[in-house]
């Protein structure tokens, strides 16, 4: 029988925008976004005041300005966000050593060893974050990572949701299948074609049927749609790769459009490398594309430096495999293996 854990998933509320709001109190209650300032740029995130106008992350700037002419767009300042993330991480360490960061603004915490309830601990952590950083966080508390992550989005912003073991079935049954980890647009579309919209409906299929339709992922779906997730919180894992990606609300129609987006993302990637992996040796560089028909392709090559010309070369190679408009662009690096981390886990691309 799987070990019963107590997992907290902490997810900061509109993190980049919230940090900028903290730094610019004069912009209180104004719609704010963070991202490219040019009309061809895209937004990284926005605050809740902006979301009331229909603005969201990855939206082109020109579209956001159409929806909200008074929108304040601020440039991305990764070092500022990393500083806030480090302060939040220090708060986590007061409660557990089992911390698995997913990004600057979210992490899993295993508090199984604590005597106090997960709900009480999550409330205290969120209060400490607000008191010490001026930022708000939401939390999901559950026996596993899958349910905790979904639950953290339940009462946003600045709220939390507890799903005890006895309530997992009730929580998971009406859940849309697209909320399950690993179910992307293509899988969701196929499930819709099969008349399946919720986890409860998905549970009607047996393992053989799911494996026939989705291969090995079908067997995982069988467990996930029942709220079964035995993955442990993995602390101190070493990155095998570093990447970023953007999904565009309006497809990129030409190679030139893709090149412009790529150069913007390349600057963000280099900033990430300098701050989070300055001493890691690069073994490969890669570009990932998802086209308008949801087909994906990845092009990569051996390299020791993440040079822009290499990414442009890979972009042309990947684009040439389809020529369809692009809905997602990702680029990244794979690090050389180190003796101290033979079992590294891959993140991102």
Torsional sign, CA 51, 53, 55, 61: negative
Tokens representing 270?
Answer: 């280099």
Q: Does residue 10 contact residue 125 with C-beta atoms inside 8 Å?
A: yes
For the chain, give the longest Cα–Cα distance: 59
Q: In what order do the strands lie in the sheet with 106-110?
A: 99-103, 106-110, 7-12, 137-142, 160-162
- Per-residue HEC secondary structure of 194-249 comes to CCCCEHHHHCCCCHHHHHHHHCHHHHHHHHHCCCCCCCCCCCCCCECEEEEEEEEE
- Provide the pLDDT for residue 3: 64
Phi, psi of 298 (to 5 degrees): -130, 135
Residues in the chain where the model's pLDDT stays below 70? 1-3, 36-41, 236-239, 249, 275-276, 338-349
Which pairs count as long-range contacts for 170-178, CB under 8 Å and 24+ apart, including other chains? 171/147, 171/227, 172/147, 172/199, 172/200, 172/225, 172/226, 172/227, 173/198, 173/199, 173/200, 173/203, 174/198, 174/199, 174/200, 175/150, 175/199, 177/201, 177/202, 177/225
Torsional sign, CA 347, 111, 169, 123: negative
Q: What is the third-level CATH fold of 241-335?
A: Dna Ligase; domain 1 (3.30.1490)
Model confidence pTM above 0.85: no
CA distance 228 to 26: 46
Q: Does residue 33 contact residue 74 with C-beta atoms inside 8 Å?
A: yes
Find, among 73, 75, 93, 59, the residue nearest to 31 by Cα: 73
Tokens representing 27?
Answer: 């912009």
- Provide the pLDDT for residue 339: 46
Please identify, in words, the CATH class of the domain defined by 7-13+79-167. alpha beta
Candidate CATH numbers 3.40.190.10, 3.30.750.24, 3.40.1170.60, 3.30.420.280; the one for domain 16-78:
3.40.1170.60
- Provide the pLDDT for residue 12: 96
Choose the catalytic residue: 106, 245, 268, 317: 106
- Provide the pLDDT for residue 348: 31
Find, among 349, 345, 336, 326, the residue nearest to 269 by Cα: 349
- Run of H or E residues at 161: strand 160-162
Following DSSP, what letter does each residue of 327-340 receive, concatenated?
A: EEEEEEEEEPP-TT
Residue 346 annotated among the catalytic residues of the structure: no
- Indicate the domain borders of the chain: 7-13+79-167, 16-78, 173-224, 241-335
- Provide the pLDDT for residue 190: 87
335 forms beta bridges with: 282
Tokens representing 181?
Answer: 């980890």
- Provide the pLDDT for residue 171: 96
Candidate CATH numbers 1.20.1440.60, 3.65.10.10, 1.10.150.20, 3.10.110.10; the one for domain 173-224:
1.10.150.20
C-alpha distances in Å from residue 62, one per residue of 35, 144, 194, 254: 12, 41, 38, 18
**Fold match flag (7-13+79-167 vs 173-224):** no
């Amino acid at each position: 029988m799987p070990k019963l854990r107590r997992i907290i998933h902490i997810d900061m509320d509109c993190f980049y925008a919230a940090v900028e709001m903290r730094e610019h109190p004069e912009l209180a209650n104004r719609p704010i976004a963070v991202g490219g300032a040019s009309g061809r740029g895209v937004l990284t995130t926005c605050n809740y005041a902006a979301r009331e106008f229909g603005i969201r992350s990855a939206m082109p700037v020109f579209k956001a300005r159409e929806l909200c002419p008074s929108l304040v767009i601020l440039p991305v300042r990764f070092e500022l966000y990393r500083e806030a993330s480090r302060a939040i991480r220090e708060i986590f360490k007061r409660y557990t050593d089992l911390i698995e960061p997913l990004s600057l603004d979210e992490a899993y915490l295993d508090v199984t060893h604590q005597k106090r309830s997960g709900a009480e601990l999550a409330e205290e952590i969120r209060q400490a974050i607000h008191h010490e950083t001026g930022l708000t966080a939401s939390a999901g508390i559950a026996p596993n990572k899958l349910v905790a992550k979904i639950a953290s989005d339940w009462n946003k912003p600045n709220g939390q949701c507890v799903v005890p073991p006895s309530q997992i079935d009730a929580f998971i049954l009406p859940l849309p299948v697209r909320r399950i980890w690993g179910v992307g647009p293509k899988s969701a579309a196929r499930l819709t074609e099969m008349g399946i919209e919720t986890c409860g409906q998905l549970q009607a299929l047996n393992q053989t049927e799911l494996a026939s339709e989705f291969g090995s992922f079908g067997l995982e779906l069988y467990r996930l749609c029942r709220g079964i997730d035995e993955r442990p919180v993995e602390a101190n894992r070493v990155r095998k790769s570093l990447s970023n990606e953007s999904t565009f609300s309006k497809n990129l129609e030409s190679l030139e459009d893709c090149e412009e987006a790529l150069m913007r993302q390349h600057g963000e990637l280099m900033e990430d490398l300098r701050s989070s992996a300055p001493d890691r040796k690069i073994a490969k560089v890669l570009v990932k594309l998802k086209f308008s028909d949801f087909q994906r392709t990845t092009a990569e090559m051996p390299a020791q430096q993440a040079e822009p010309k290499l990414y442009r070369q890979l972009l042309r190679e990947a684009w040439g495999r389809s020529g369809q408009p692009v809905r997602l662009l990702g680029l990244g690096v794979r690090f050389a293996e180190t003796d101290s981390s033979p079992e590294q886990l891959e993140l991102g691309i």
